Amino acid sequence: MKVPPDPVLSYVAIGAFLALVVVRRYAFYNRTYVRFVVVLVIVAVVSANCVPLLALPGLDANMVRLVYALGKAFANLSLRRGWLAEAARDPLILAAPFEGAWRVAAGGPDPGDNHHLVASDQRFAYDFIRTDRASLGSPILAPVTGRVVASCDGKLDHRASLRVIEDPSPLGNYVAIDTGKGVVFLCHLQNGSVLVHPGDQVMVGTTIGMCGNSGRTSRPHLHIHAQDLANYAFNEARGISIAFLRHESPAVLRVGDSLRHRQVRTR
């Protein structure tokens, strides 16, 4: 007996197909994930009778949902392991780019915790907020010694919002520092606060500006990532893994982890 069409699974099929398109467009997920997306598309399409000729007699919709859930869990596990392996492979070591205690609001290997994963240049990006939520106006420090290759100021700060505010300048006010191993971007700085300019040499701990809410953002926070190009090129540059000196040793962080500035040297 053929299972009647299931609209929920139809949406699953469409969503899985779109996921596959994203994967193939940006090529940031591993092959295991791609294979599972393909399988999930086929299973969802068959179960939803989107293609009647492929509908199998006696196929149980609940079983399909279970297969989909297991496949998704396995794919996410594969993603996490791949991300962590790459993140631990000769990362760029950074000092904390702020004073006081901050925590990771977004970043790490889990797709649910890191919206940056969809961008090849920001795969290893982090968003930080102060633990006391007083991020706005807090000093932002150079996390590494290097040369400023780009900076931007004059972008207005948005009011804090529950939703991300779209902006034609997604980085807002920012500073980019060339370390010789990669270019570190510090973004969403406060309007009028940027203190360095292209050509300036900065040392670890140099104040480069203040935390703001400029660009594509919802609340005051610091976005930081490293890439191989000196100019901002969404999905054109290659993201470089970064680790932060925490408790005197470099660490790859996850959502909820705290970080505090220490007077340390980086390589």
Domains of the chain by residue range = 7-87, 92-260
Residue 233 pLDDT class (50, 70, 90 cuts): confident
pLDDT at position 57 over 90: no
How is residue 207 written in tokens?
Answer: 């104040």
Mean pLDDT, rounded, of the chain: 80
Tens digit of each residue's pLDDT (9 = 90 or more) over 116-131 = 888 889 999 999 999 9
pLDDT at position 257 over 90: yes
E strand or H helix at 23, and its extent?
Answer: helix 7-26
For residues 34 and 17, what is the distance between their CA atoms, to the nearest angstrom? 11
- Read out DSSP for 99-155? SSEEEEEE-SS-TTT-GGGGSTTSTT-EEEEETTS--TT-EEE-SS-EEEEEEE--P
pLDDT at 53: 42
Q: 211 pairs with which residues across the strands?
A: 189
For residues 37 and 21, what is the distance between their CA atoms, to the nearest angstrom? 10
3-state secondary structure of 259: strand
How is residue 71 written in tokens?
Answer: 């496949």
Considering the four listed CATH numbers 2.60.120.10, 1.20.1600.10, 2.70.70.10, 3.40.50.10440, the one that applies to the domain covering 92-260 is 2.70.70.10
Q: Please tell me the pTM assigned to this model.
A: 0.74
* Other beta carbons within 10 Å of 13: 23
Tens digit of each residue's pLDDT (9 = 90 or more) over 162-216 = 788 888 889 999 999 999 999 999 999 999 999 999 999 999 999 999 999 999 9
For residues 68 and 38, what is the distance between their CA atoms, to the nearest angstrom? 11
pLDDT at 1: 43
pLDDT at 15: 59
